[in-house]
Structure 1
């Protein structure tokens, strides 16, 4: 609820202190900068320490900083602690998207729809709830209650479990590598079977004892071979159950002690340095994916669409109030957009499981709807038409955001998803820091919300143009890979 409630929760606080649009944009985009920039470490951190530890600890710290904001007395206070809240909230939230990709394959889209529905529920409930809390308990009380609500994220994080806990042990495995003696047993079994078949063909009373002897020998050899296969299979199964993005479970909580810990589980100094070195190497490796055409299009397109979406999210409530309507009207407008967002997210995610569904075309369509709805909203002055336009915008946002998580494994592969997810978060962070305040500055200089929204529209259309080149990027990388194999 943090992003959708920002303009509602802090609106009176900022207006009373005469904050400009640039200042409002700086506070929110610094929050989003830290939310996204540390997303680059999501994959390495969860791989090193596990999902549960990272999400639980960061959710607790984020709620702590939000609780502190109840005692905010000036804008700088709000800037510092709301930004720190974004840092840890991002680290608590982003691993959820990686977990869905790990846990689900055939129904990944439907599972992603439920995840998106959860986040959209926050967008829908947040604005009117925040407005109600402000009316009943004023700013300090409303902020304390919002911090307490955020604290419930720790309950969700506590329920995270490693994927191997739920893997079926009867799953098929590749034929294990057997020892030479086991191969010899196999050959002997085959010889005995052939002898048995010959005995069956020429069976008579005189050869009956010989057939029984062959059968006994065959059973003994098969039993010996089965024991060897069982041992090798157990080893193969144990290897196949390793969590590729997190360490193997132990008896405590499903996540082991750090690799460089001592017997008491506390990392020593050299262990800490090794851990930091692994995190740094993994982080730099993730950024290298931006060099690929597909990675560049996914990350750059996502930066433009998400930055425009977030800045419109915080600008629209102020624009509605500027048009002469109340903060309550603004809150309900954003809630209507969240309902459409929810419907679109669940629908698009569920349809993505269908073989006929073109994810790229649907994603581009959602982004296009976003662009034109922002453009239309800039010309609206009637509250009813503002609501209609925001509903259309919310639907486009829902399609865009829900499919963006799914196009990463579709176009980059599941094994590269943590890398592209982290790299995209890193790029989005700097876009929030540069483009977000720029939109606020344009609003202050032009003294017009419409001009700022035209800039957001242009930003979204850049995403559409980039995705037109995705088929060419895929073909280029396939040719490059084929040439490398040929050499």
Structure 2
């Protein structure tokens, strides 16, 4: 809710403790790395405890970070509470939330993810004005205390969280299914078989006296026993925990790496935008207005996704995401090429429109690429790589800004990253579509050839 207000909330504090752009981007990297590590190991954590307990633990960590930030008066404490604790709590909670939405909804997944994201967008739209009022009335510390009160709602949210298995309908196995089991059974001592076509001869006469339930239980036990795998050494356990195979699959797909890279670029741009506007001699009211318009564009697009979710699914989630990236690229360039405040506000609003697709669609795209069993781990990898990028590339962008004393230079670097993703992802989609078209043409040619050969044989 208050992520877009970081510069507005902490501007005076950053000046007080002498944190420059490099320090701020390093904080962003530490925070994102905490999100990454916690999100990556969420699937392993859910094997130790239930999903609700895992969510409750994340809510506790999140609120410790929020409360600790109120009393932080040095860089180290600020990094610990704002970076580590808040990041770790959010990483687990976000991954679990995406997993639950993915489990509950299949056909209308985008619709309900859009509804959830729209609620977040409404909160983000109201947040800048709320922060501006509280800063004027209660100051920096008072604003943080009010934010802590808002964060307490996470306990209510996780207590209402229900795993999808609680709502699955139990389907009774029909009698004919158990009768089919007996198709495979033949009494060795009987003159007649159970049915006319015996497939397996029983070697133990006692099996012939077993009931349907006992037979069904034995077969189920045998299947479960056969599925058991011998536990390996430390290397195998590490491979299972890290899931190297899934990590390779993730890194070799633009549909996975593209959203990760773009979310990194988007978050860094959002973090630096208020400071850039302050450098342009904008006052606090104008900066709050710019952030509000950015959130308004984001909110309008999220709301539109609710009504056009079927059309988006039909057109293709990846294609719609690419359209959003094009809007993000063009609007940022236009914002950098103008100095008129009104025009800048217009393009900041368009940046918010593009921001919606960058933040809303990644879980939907990952659900297309990975199976339901792989989804939680894939979301973890997504968060992990996102954190690594922020930890490594974020401070580098901040350092460029400090050396050049120019925010536009940093924004040009961020904007270039969108162009790279657009180019590579478009080439991949075109290649895959051409490949599928060639396969269909080959299948059609083979089918036509088969029919001709059949007709010649009949003649």
Q: Which residue of 2 aligns with 1:111?
A: 112
Cα 1:386–1:102, aligned 2, differ >3 Å: closer, same or farther? same
Aligned 1:347-362 pairs, distance under 5 A? 347-348=304-305, 351-354=308-311, 356-362=314-320
For structure 1, the 5+ residue unaligned runs are 192-226, 240-273, 480-487
Query: 1:305–1:460: 8 Å Cα contact kept in structure 2?
Result: yes
What are the superposed Cα offsets for residues 373-393 of structure 1, whole Å, 9 maximum, x if unpaired? 222222333332222111101
What are the superposed Cα offsets for residues 123-178 of structure 1, whole Å, 9 maximum, x if unpaired? 22222222222222111221122112112111101111121221233599997454
Cα 1:460–1:155, aligned 2, differ >3 Å: closer, same or farther? same
Query: Is 1:68 aligned to residue 68 of structure 2?
Result: yes
Match of 2:260 among 298, 303, 324: 303
SS at structure 2 position matched to 1:90: helix
Cα 1:115–1:295, aligned 2, differ >3 Å: closer, same or farther? farther
* Structure 1, 375-384 or 347-356: larger mean CA deviation: 347-356
Query: Is 1:323 aligned to residue 324 of structure 2?
Result: no
Q: Which residue of 2 aligns with 1:376?
A: 334
**Equivalents in 2 of 1:352, 1:295: separation in Å?**
28
Q: Which residue of 1 aligns with 2:138?
A: 137
Shift of 1:289: 2.1
Query: 1:299–1:423: 8 Å Cα contact kept in structure 2?
Result: no
**Equivalents in 1 of 2:256, 2:170: separation in Å?**
38
**Equivalents in 1 of 2:354, 2:63: separation in Å?**
30
Shift of 1:299: 3.2
TM value normalised by structure 1: 0.74
SS at structure 1 position matched to 2:19: coil
What are the superposed Cα offsets for residues 311-360 of structure 1, whole Å, 9 maximum, x if unpaired? 11111111111111122321221122112212223433653434532222
Shift of 1:107: 1.2
**Equivalents in 2 of 1:172, 1:474: separation in Å?**
42
Equivalent pairs counted in the alignment come to 404
Q: Which residue of 1 aligns with 2:23?
A: 23
**Equivalents in 2 of 1:378, 1:170: separation in Å?**
60
Query: Is 1:395 aligned to residue 332 of structure 2?
Result: no
Shift of 1:2: 4.4
For structure 2, the 5+ residue unaligned runs are 187-191, 197-210, 224-231, 439-459
Question: Aligned-residue CA RMSD in angstroms?
Answer: 3.4
Cα 1:171–1:426, aligned 2, differ >3 Å: closer, same or farther? farther
Aligned 1:212-227 pairs, distance under 5 A? none
Q: Which residue of 1 aligns with 2:297?
A: 340
Cα 1:69–1:459, aligned 2, differ >3 Å: closer, same or farther? same
**Equivalents in 2 of 1:423, 1:157: separation in Å?**
23
Cα 1:47–1:344, aligned 2, differ >3 Å: closer, same or farther? farther
Query: 1:343–1:395: 8 Å Cα contact kept in structure 2?
Result: yes
**Equivalents in 1 of 2:173, 2:286: separation in Å?**
57
Shift of 1:118: 2.6
Match of 1:367 among 325, 328, 333: 325
Cα 1:394–1:167, aligned 2, differ >3 Å: closer, same or farther? same
Query: 2:259–2:358: 8 Å Cα contact kept in structure 1?
Result: no
What are the superposed Cα offsets for residues 168-223 of structure 1, whole Å, 9 maximum, x if unpaired? 335999974547557789x99999xxxxxxxxxxxxxxxxxxxxxxxxxxxxxxxx
